Amino acid sequence: MLFKDIVGQDELKERLIRGVHEGRISHAQMFLGEPGSGTIPLAIAYAQYLNCQNRGEHDSCGVCPSCHKVQKLMHPDVHFTFPINKTSEIGDKVVVSDLFLSYWRSIVENLTYFDEQDWYSHIDLGNKQGLISVAEADNIIKKLSFKAYEGEYKVLIMWLPERMNIAASNALLKLVEEPPAKTVFLMVAQEEGKVLKTILSRTQIIRVPRIRYDDMVRSLTERYPSSSMPIESVARLSSGSMIEARRLLELDEEGDEFFGYVIGLLRFCYQSNVIGLIEWSEEVATLGRDRIKRLLAYAERVIREAFMLNLRMEAVSYLPLNPEQQKFYANFKPFIRPNNIEETFTLLNTAIHHINANGNAKIVLADMSLKMVKLIKP
């Protein structure tokens, strides 16, 4: 991972690189920022720069053996830890991150910017919560007890230390506080308040801000040159998160189909058509769990757009150019008001949560839609 391939964050990149040049390399650092801001790629690029055999003034060389191995996430001195749990594939084995490295490599290569939802779906964790256990801590201690094989630094990148339980934290405290020479902990967190204080107090915090609007526009224009959704709107609505930008664009690709489903839902709700809502729920349930979640997320976007338009806040709303959609928003926007917007979002988010937890899709969707009848009315 090269610094130049990371979207924006130029000032932070320069600060990290300058620290290496000046020999100011803290042995325990925490990249703290919201999902989609670039915390994971920044940590990987920093690890690559530390071990690059021909460091440039502003980036790794990208061609030395060390760089090639880090880019493939296969460097023997760069280790990864992340939240996991038992899956059917793992069986009765002791659950440690090493068993999921192939999944980790593929999600970093294919998405680069991802969050827990993406990760748990990728490893098919179902309704389980990922965690970093004491078994993982013991494995980390074992790995870092050896001398570096070929790099200058041994690096441990831990994604989401807030998922580390107390036993794991206690096992790692001494190592984090007094690691062997040339050993660097890079923790990547998103919720400072959920990181155990014993760990937090032993790290140098590097705050990663949201990506600037102009940087988002440039990157999205390069990555999605054929997008039918105006890139400026995507950059604005995603609020500095490449994850949210990706999801908006994914939804846009399915927009025509999803828009039809959302119109059907809202019309049945307005008409208090119970039979129509039951049939709608049965049909949508056949889409499969992942598509249902994307559809409900799309419905949230439609509701938000209507609310912004109802408040005459077009500047923060993406108004589709499709005449059918414009007509729909003009007719529907009066029904999304300050007194029902929050409850409507809660219904949709609760349904997404239950679908994600393997709830019965027909029941979840029927319950959601019938409750929505009381909210979507003249």
Supply the CATH number for residue 260's domain.
1.20.272
Residue 378 is predicted with a pLDDT of 62
pLDDT tens for each residue of 140-190: 999 999 888 888 999 999 999 999 999 999 999 999 999 999 999 999 999
pLDDT at 320: 52
With cut-offs at 50, 70 and 90, classify the pLDDT of residue 342. confident
With cut-offs at 50, 70 and 90, classify the pLDDT of residue 87.
Answer: confident
Residue pair 28/203 in contact by the 8 Å Cβ criterion = yes
What the block records as the tokens of 248 is 């908006």
What average pLDDT does range 254-265 have in this prediction?
85
Count: domains in the chain? 2
- What's 118's domain CATH number? 3.40.50.300
Residue 128's pLDDT is 79
232 in any annotated domain: no
Q: Span 330-342, mean pLDDT? A: 79
Mean pLDDT of the chain: 90
Look at residues 39, 86, 51 and name the one whose alpha carbon lies nearest to residue 243: 39
CA–CA separation, 338 and 335 (whole Å): 10
* Confidence at residue 88, expressed as pLDDT on a 0 to 100 scale: 78
Q: Are both 317 and 205 inside the same structural domain?
A: no
Across 285-296, average pLDDT = 89
Residue 321: pLDDT above 60?
no
Looking at the domain assignment, is residue 81 inside a domain? yes
| Domain, as residue range, for 308 | 254-376
Lowest mean pLDDT among 117-121, 197-201, 264-268, 301-305: 301-305
Residue 296 lies in a domain: yes
Take residue 278 and report the two structure tokens written for it: 């039951």
Q: Quick one: how far is CA 251 from the chain centroid?
A: 16
